[in-house]
Amino acid sequence: MHFGETGVGKSVIAYDLFERTRESKARLPVIINFSTQTSSRRTWYMIESKLLNRRDYFAAPPGQSVVLIIDDFNMPAPDTFGSQPPLELLRQMLGTGGWQDRTLLAFRAVKGVFTVAACGPTGGGRNKVSQRLTVLFTQLWVPQPNEKSFVRIFNSILMEYIYTAFCWWNERIGPTDCQGFS
């Protein structure tokens, strides 16, 4: 789980790590962007749609694993009782290795699923995540970059845009410094 302020690149890090390992086609992505309106049913459907339904368990396709990439992990709004149903579903899956099947009303194991999450600090629509869930993750803090790093990031984005939009012109201006824009 990646923690950090807004704009430090938590989601980019998660997507980049996945893309670097994707070439082998052994990993199947499930990208979920949580919001305050995200329901446990939608979360369940998004995960289950990538899994094969076996007799008494759900599993990733043969030779593959499913990687859940969850952005804005702490966005789901708490219900009347203070719980966050999408997060409780994930806690059940991570903590017990499966979940209660909605149709059979029996426990079904979930196999071959790995979870990567990104969340910002509480406040501004983001809610506190239960410690019962956060202990199931390895937690990484992504620090705020300094101004020099922001300028470098902005330069690389700007130069990529200039190169693609004005390819003929890019050869004439060469590398530029965008200090004036920061």
> CA gyration radius for the chain?
20
Tell me the whole-structure pTM to 2 decimals: 0.75
By residue range, what is the domain housing residue 165? 147-181
Q: Are residues 100 and 159 in the same domain?
A: no
Q: Are residues 12 and 88 in the same domain?
A: yes
Q: What is the pLDDT at residue 25?
A: 73
Q: What is the pLDDT at residue 181?
A: 45
Q: Are residues 20 and 43 in the same domain?
A: yes
Q: Are residues 18 and 31 in the same domain?
A: yes
Q: Are residues 131 and 159 in the same domain?
A: no
Q: Are residues 169 and 107 in the same domain?
A: no
Number of domains composing the chain: 2
Q: Which amino acid is at 147?
A: E
Q: What is the pLDDT at residue 72?
A: 87
Alpha carbon distance 147, 145 (integer Å): 7
Q: What is the pLDDT at residue 174?
A: 55
Q: Are residues 117 and 151 in the same domain?
A: no
Identify each DSSP E strand in 11-97 by its residue range.
27-33, 52-53, 57-59, 65-71
106 φ/ψ angles, rounded to the nearest 5 degrees? -135, 155
For the chain, the residue count is 182
Q: Which segments of the chain have a pLDDT < 50? A: 170, 177-182
Contact 112, 65 (CB under 8 A): yes
Contact 28, 66 (CB under 8 A): yes
Contact 129, 2 (CB under 8 A): no
Q: What is the pLDDT at residue 175?
A: 55
